[in-house]
Amino acid sequence: MIWEVFRQNQAGDYHTHCGNVHAPDREMALLFAEVQHGRRKPTNSLWVVPQEEIGEVDTEDAKFGGTTNKSYRFARTYNVEPAAEEVEASEKELTEAERKRGEA
């Protein structure tokens, strides 16, 4: 049975996918995950999830974010100085996301 593994660096962080292991049950999957993924990289917690339990939709099936110009969803579109640092931080994140979408 294949188990997908998600690692969390530090408490409070997100668990992110880091690979998978072949194991007969959850307990063994956790052990293998620990050995394979928790030894060097900083690890606070690991999740294992049976591969067949994972649902997926990808770019073959979906047009993520639509196919028309949706620049109105992005802060950069509005030509005003960000009112506060948190607005500026958000604009940066949004612009970064917009840029990466463009590259994809």
Please give the torsion angle defined by the CA atoms of residues 15, 17, 20 and 21, in that order, rounded to the nearest 10 degrees: -10
Total residues contacting other proteins by CB under 8 A comes to: 26
User: Taking CB under 8 A as the rule, does residue 26 contact other proteins?
Assistant: no
Q: Which is nearer to other proteins, 22 or 73 (CB)?
A: 73
3-state secondary structure at position 15: coil
Segment contacting other proteins (CB under 8 A): 19-27, 33-41, 56-64, 67-75? 67-75
**Euclidean distance between CA atoms 95 and 13, whole angstroms:** 23
3-state secondary structure at position 49: strand
Binding site for other proteins (CB under 8 A): 11-14, 70, 72-75, 77-80, 82-91, 93-94, 97
